């Protein structure tokens, strides 16, 4: 199972988080809208908006977009650095999902959202990525070899308690190999991300090495 457009339009994701009954701060619609306005005000007015995808947005973008291109951002790298007690894990066995953490570089996909769709599509993205404040919207420069694109990326909030910090490779492998929730397993999330990247010609060697370690652990069970 994957997150759907209906889940975001109906605010089912927010409801699911609240039903956990844990001390999780869920942002209101007004707070999400204010975050969108603040983010858009950081750049010169533009008709269209680009979004940089590095994880599940690659294989499950959900939002409407007019075009896409492969590009690289600098100063950030793709890493399993966010603990999730639902979706891909449980409170007893939290999963790990990807975030953009400081340093290095990252190849991904930039999506262009048309001006006529910006209002609706950004709200869905914010409901998906910003709802519990684990990620922070940030403007990044995407280089595709011929042009430079200003795009919004959702980077990890290092001040959030769910930020995994400097965890060991063994801990990462164990979590991905064992955690699963209502959206599926962390192992599937990893495989879908690698497959999505490969589909557009991106080979992420650290993720592929991680996949090999996870598959070895799964086969040893």
The catalytic residues are 129
Q: Residue 70 — left, alpha, or beta (φ > 0 → left; ψ -120 to 50 → alpha)?
A: beta
Distances (CA, A) of 69 to 26, 45, 66, 72, 197: 32, 22, 11, 10, 12
Q: Which residue is listed with tokens 């652990």?
A: 217
Question: In angstroms, rounded to a whole number, what is the distance separating the alpha carbons of residues 221 and 215?
Answer: 10
Question: In angstroms, rounded to a whole number, what is the distance separating the alpha carbons of residues 81 and 126?
Answer: 19
CB 110 within 8 A of CB 51: yes
Beta-carbon neighbour count of residue 31 at 10 Å?
Answer: 15
Main-chain dihedrals φ then ψ at residue 76, nearest 5 degrees: -140, 145
Beta-carbon neighbour count of residue 12 at 10 Å?
Answer: 14
CB 199 within 8 A of CB 205: no
């Amino acid at each position: 199972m994957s997150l759907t457009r209906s889940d975001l339009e109906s605010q089912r994701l927010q409801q699911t988080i609240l039903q956990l009954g844990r001390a999780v701060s869920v942002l209101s619609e007004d707070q999400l809208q204010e975050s969108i306005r603040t983010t858009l005000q950081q750049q010169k007015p533009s008709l269209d908006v680009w979004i940089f995808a590095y994880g599940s947005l690659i294989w499950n973008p959900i939002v409407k977009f007019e075009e896409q291109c492969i590009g690289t951002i600098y100063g950030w790298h793709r890493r399993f650095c966010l603990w999730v007690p639902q979706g891909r894990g449980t409170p007893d066995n939290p999963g790990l999902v990807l975030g953009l953490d400081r340093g290095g570089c990252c190849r991904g996909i930039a999506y262009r959202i048309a001006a006529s769709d910006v209002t609706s599509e950004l709200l869905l993205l914010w409901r998906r990525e910003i709802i519990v404040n684990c990620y922070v919207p940030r403007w990044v420069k995407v280089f595709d070899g011929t042009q430079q694109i200003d795009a919004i990326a959702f980077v990890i909030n290092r001040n959030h308690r769910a930020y995994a910090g400097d965890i060991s490779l063994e801990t990462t492998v164990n979590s991905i190999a064992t955690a699963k929730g209502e959206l599926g397993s962390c192992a599937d999330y990893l495989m879908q991300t690698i497959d999505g990247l490969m589909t557009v010609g991106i080979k992420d060697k650290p993720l592929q090495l991680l996949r090999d370690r996870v598959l070895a652990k799964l086969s040893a069970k």
